[in-house]
């Protein structure tokens, strides 16, 4: 990896653009003629294949250096995980995944929308949200602020197609905008305390809280349990207890790396549909 003015060149070995974008962490991405684009908050990054791997371009390349977690040694993480049960094939398959550092508010709203929903529809709802309430940038729209979203009623979000999540969006945006919950303060809390705060927000249960803590706050001693993880658990143990028991069991197996393990397992299962 090295810097070149407003660009970073990354080695393709532990940076797989398709895997990073399509492993379900983020929803604002797409293809360009040359490669891919990602939008985070009010910033954009272009990702184009090159001889060494990929070239990342942005007006704020330092931001995306942190966003893509480029200073971390993923080879070491994978070495640790491969010692643990069921991780050989998922780690090979998703070797180029990286856990992102996304914006907390954007991640909060995005994963409220994600509940009981398909990824293509989640992406479409979020794009309409940005188009109608986000700041116009050069060639794209920023993710809206809590203040912008707090000014709208549930009916507005229903018309965006958010379904029964419309009321959650309006209420949670207001709670953030009026300071009832301070998202910045959660970086300093441990997983359990931060999780309790997030779950006080309307539309945030255990699974959504886990996704926010993993994909925005980089906490990894957790395990988001969704329908795909339930399939994975059934493959592993041949039964399916309650979500909370599934979560605790999987955290017990993968410990501090549970969040990473979950992401490799999720991507492997969802892409291949293979039995573990």
- The residue ranges that bind DNA (CB under 7 A) are 23-25, 111, 114-122, 124, 158, 161, 163-164, 168, 199, 201-209, 211, 224, 226-229, 242, 244, 262-263, 266, 270
Q: For residues 18 and 51, what is the distance between their CA atoms, to the nearest angstrom?
A: 17
The CB-of-258 to DNA minimum distance in angstroms stands at 11
Q: For residues 157 and 173, what is the distance between their CA atoms, to the nearest angstrom?
A: 11
Nearest to residue 202, comparing CAs of 162, 163, 175? 175
Nearest to residue 67, comparing CAs of 102, 17, 34, 97? 102
The CB-of-220 to DNA minimum distance in angstroms stands at 13
The CB-of-260 to DNA minimum distance in angstroms stands at 11
Whichever of 97 and 146 has its CB closer to DNA, that residue is 97
Whichever of 18 and 135 has its CB closer to DNA, that residue is 18
The CB-of-190 to DNA minimum distance in angstroms stands at 19
Q: What angle do CA 25, 226, 28 make, to 5 degrees?
A: 20
Nearest to residue 202, comparing CAs of 240, 182, 173, 225? 173
Whichever of 146 and 211 has its CB closer to DNA, that residue is 211
Whichever of 83 and 116 has its CB closer to DNA, that residue is 116
159 counts as catalytic: no
Catalytic residue among 43, 55, 123, 207: 207
| CA distance readout (Å), 59 to 11, 56, 107, 124, 130 | 21, 10, 22, 26, 20
Catalytically active residues, by annotation: 207
């Amino acid at each position: 990896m090295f810097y070149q003015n407003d660009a970073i060149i990354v080695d393709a070995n532990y940076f797989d653009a398709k895997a990073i974008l399509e492993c379900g962490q983020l929803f604002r991405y797409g293809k360009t003629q040359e490669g891919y684009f990602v939008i985070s908050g009010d910033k954009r990054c272009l990702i184009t294949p090159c001889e060494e791997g990929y070239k990342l371009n942005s007006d704020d390349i330092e931001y995306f250096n942190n966003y893509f977690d480029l200073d971390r040694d993923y080879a070491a993480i994978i070495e640790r995980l491969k010692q643990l049960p069921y991780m050989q094939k998922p780690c090979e398959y998703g070797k180029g995944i990286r856990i992102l550092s996304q914006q907390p508010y954007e991640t909060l709203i995005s994963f409220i929308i994600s509940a009981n929903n398909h990824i293509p529809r989640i992406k479409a709802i979020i794009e309409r949200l940005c188009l109608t309430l986000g700041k116009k940038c050069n060639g794209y729209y920023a993710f809206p602020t809590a203040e912008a979203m707090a000014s709208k009623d549930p009916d507005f979000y229903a018309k965006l197609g958010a379904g029964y999540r419309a009321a959650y969006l309006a209420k949670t945006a207001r709670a953030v905008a009026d300071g009832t919950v301070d998202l910045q303060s959660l970086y300093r809390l441990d997983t359990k305390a931060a999780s309790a705060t997030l779950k006080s927000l309307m539309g945030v249960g255990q699974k959504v809280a886990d996704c926010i803590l993993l994909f925005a706050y980089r906490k990894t001693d957790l395990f988001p349990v969704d329908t795909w993880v339930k399939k994975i658990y059934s493959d592993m143990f041949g039964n399916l207890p309650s979500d909370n028991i599934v979560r605790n069991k999987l955290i017990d197996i993968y410990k501090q790396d549970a969040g990473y393990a979950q992401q490799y397992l999720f991507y492997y299962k969802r892409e291949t549909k293979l039995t573990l």
